[in-house]
Chains A and B, each alone.
Chain A
Amino acid sequence: MRAVKQFLSKIREINLRYAKPQVEMSRAVSFSLAVLRIYLFLLVVLMIYKFITVIKVI
């Protein structure tokens, strides 16, 4: 239990340490990150679709 608490507090500490991105958020950077989010979202949707179709077959 203590180990879990320590682990969670470490995660919180890391989140706090890296809360603010250090890279200069130029238009190019913001655009790249937005495209990356959309790309990953579509990929996750595809994976969920595949998972559901496999489950249906089983």
Chain B
Amino acid sequence: MDFFSVLYYRVKKVWKAVRLYLVIAGPGLVVMIADNDAGGITTYAATGAKYGYHLIWFLLLLIPVAYYVQEMTVRLGAVTKRGHAEAIFESFGAFWGWFSLLDLMIVDWLTLVTEFVGMTAALSIFGVPAWLTVVLVVLLMSIIVLNGRYWTWEKIALGFCLLNLIYIPAAFMVNPSMADIAAQGLIPNLPGGLNNELFFLLMANIGTTIAPWMLFFQQSSVVDKGLQEKDIKMGKIDTFIGSIITVAIAIFIVIVTGTLLHGAPIDDAATAARLLMKTNHYVGAFMAIGLFDAGLLGAICISLASSWAFGEIFGWAHSLNTKVKEAPWFYISFFFTLATAGVVPLIPGAPLVIITLFVQVVAVTLLPAALVFLILLLNDKKTMGEYANTPLQNIVSTIIVVAIIILSTLYGVSALFPNMFN
């Protein structure tokens, strides 16, 4: 009898924790899975095609990197009830505030263009013209955003996150050798030695894992959802689960292209999908659907990150819980960013390569600043109280941030001067 009482009590306790998690889950999962955006899918597809399973161990290292950076935004948002842009303005003054806001606006818009490029390329595989893809995406995002409730928006976004798992069945369909994955992928190694090409790809993988918009998005999302200090623990679990899922998806993409396209020159994920279709129609189709979904998720989050940031600073109502009448500027800025970015891939001869290059370079100017501000804000005991960084958290996050800054700077500089490291 005692055994069953204890069992009943424990099951009830676990179920209560699961239910609480399901209520709080969202910002961490969405931001992490949206991190695998169109550019990210291209990077992972290229990684698998170039180096097979050899860099899976490196992707696993990115789980703690993504988690430690993003969990700080959860604490900051829940304690201060302010978005990242507002926190920078208030704590560091107008100069750093405007710098961050304008940089965010530029990098978000450019990234949004690359999401549209990915989405139009993905649906073109199924014969959908680019203009129709752009119109459909803008309509779809209007329906998602204009419902007037954060909760509904988040659940729809989580639905699209689920679709991102399409790479898992795709990886099983290509029948990879588990022994090869374990032998080649799980033991740290640098295939062919550390050369310029490998270094560039490693840096690209880091660059897709931590992007400036993610910091702004998750913090604003935590605030808009209304998470409190008591929710921080669950918010951190949410972020941790998200960081595992995002890396798992990346690994499954690497397995797909590493199995079927090893050695093939892959410049973008759409090319990978086309080549995969020749070998296995369904796997190719899954890759294309996943690419479209990744671009859509990225677009949803990135455009919101900008609108939230502007709303915070300009004092506009800026919540998904508000109707258009109550927060006109929030929705106008959202659709303006979306529509102008969507038009670019439709312009014949648009400089898409230069735009991709600019995303990398501009992100390098914003990312270090945003990360340094994050650590400084998390050390402000006056504001953060008991939720300020502990010495151990400071050591871990500082090592991660310094490494990211060095590598992302090298990535940005090598994008500007491709022959510099030859």
CB distance from A25 to the nearest CB of B (A): 10
Q: Are A43 and B382 in contact (CB under 8 A)?
A: no
Secondary structure class of chain B's binding surface, majority of residues:
helix
Minimal Cβ-Cβ distance residue in B for A7: B314
Pick the most buried of A10, A24, A44: most chain B CB atoms within 10 A of its CB.
A24
A8 within 8 A of B: no
A23 within 8 A of B: yes
What chain A residues lie within 8 Å of B368 (beta carbons)?
36, 39
Q: Are B369 and A18 in contact (CB under 8 A)?
A: no
Q: Are A14 and B94 in contact (CB under 8 A)?
A: yes
Minimal Cβ-Cβ distance residue in A for B362: A47
B90 within 8 A of A: yes
Q: Which residue of A14, A22, A43 is within 8 Å of B91 (Cβ)?
A: A22
What chain B residues lie within 8 Å of A32 (beta carbons)?
372, 376
The A12-30 residues at the B interface (CB cut-off 8 A) are 14-15, 18-24, 28-29
A58 within 8 A of B: no
What chain B residues lie within 8 Å of A15 (beta carbons)?
94
Complex interface bits, A26-58 against B, C-beta within 8 A gives 1, otherwise 0: 001100110010011001101100100000000
CB distance from B38 to the nearest CB of A (A): 25
Task: Give the complex CA separation of A36 and B413 in angstroms.
Answer: 17
Q: Are B91 and A23 in contact (CB under 8 A)?
A: yes
Q: Which residue of B93, B379, B382, B417 is within 8 Å of A18 (Cβ)?
A: B93
Task: Give the complex CA separation of A24 and B364 in angstroms.
Answer: 27
Complex interface bits, B79-97 against A, C-beta within 8 A gives 1, otherwise 0: 0000000000111111011
Task: Give the complex CA separation of A14 and B85 in angstroms.
Answer: 13
Q: Are A40 and B369 in contact (CB under 8 A)?
A: yes
CB distance from A51 to the nearest CB of B (A): 10
What chain A residues lie within 8 Å of B376 (beta carbons)?
23, 28-29, 32
Pick the most buried of A15, A20, A22, A32: most chain B CB atoms within 10 A of its CB.
A22
B327 within 8 A of A: no
Q: A36-B369, A39-B368 are in contact. Are A18 and B89 (CB under 8 A)?
A: yes
Task: Give the complex CA separation of A19 and B97 in angstroms.
Answer: 10
Q: A19-B94, A22-B91 are in contact. Are A46 and B382 (CB under 8 A)?
A: no
Task: Give the complex CA separation of A15 and B409 in angstroms.
Answer: 30
CB distance from B201 to the nearest CB of A (A): 22
Q: Are B369 and A50 in contact (CB under 8 A)?
A: no
Q: Which residue of A18, A20, A39, A44 is within 8 Å of B97 (Cβ)?
A: A18
Q: A23-B380, A39-B368, A47-B361 are in contact. Are A33 and B92 (CB under 8 A)?
A: yes
Task: Give the complex CA separation of A22 and B380 in angstroms.
Answer: 10
Q: Are B313 and A14 in contact (CB under 8 A)?
A: yes
What chain A residues lie within 8 Å of B382 (beta carbons)?
24
Q: Are B314 and A43 in contact (CB under 8 A)?
A: no
The B83-116 residues at the A interface (CB cut-off 8 A) are 89-94, 96-97, 99
B140 within 8 A of A: no
B45 within 8 A of A: no
CB distance from B389 to the nearest CB of A (A): 12
Q: Which residue of B91, B361, B409, B412 is within 8 Å of A21 (Cβ)?
A: B91
B416 within 8 A of A: yes
Q: Which residue of B314, B369, B409, B416 is within 8 Å of A14 (Cβ)?
A: B314
Q: Are B364 and A22 in contact (CB under 8 A)?
A: no
Pick the most buried of A21, A32, A44, A50: most chain B CB atoms within 10 A of its CB.
A21
Q: Can you list 23 pairs linking A and B with CB atoms under 8 Å apart?
A: A14-B89, A14-B94, A15-B94, A18-B93, A18-B94, A20-B93, A21-B91, A21-B92, A22-B91, A23-B376, A23-B377, A24-B382, A28-B376, A32-B372, A32-B376, A36-B368, A36-B372, A39-B368, A39-B409, A40-B365, A40-B369, A47-B416, A50-B416
11 new A-B contacts at CB < 8 Å, known A19-B93, A21-B93, A39-B368: A10-B314, A20-B93, A23-B377, A24-B382, A32-B372, A33-B92, A33-B96, A39-B409, A46-B413, A46-B416, A47-B416
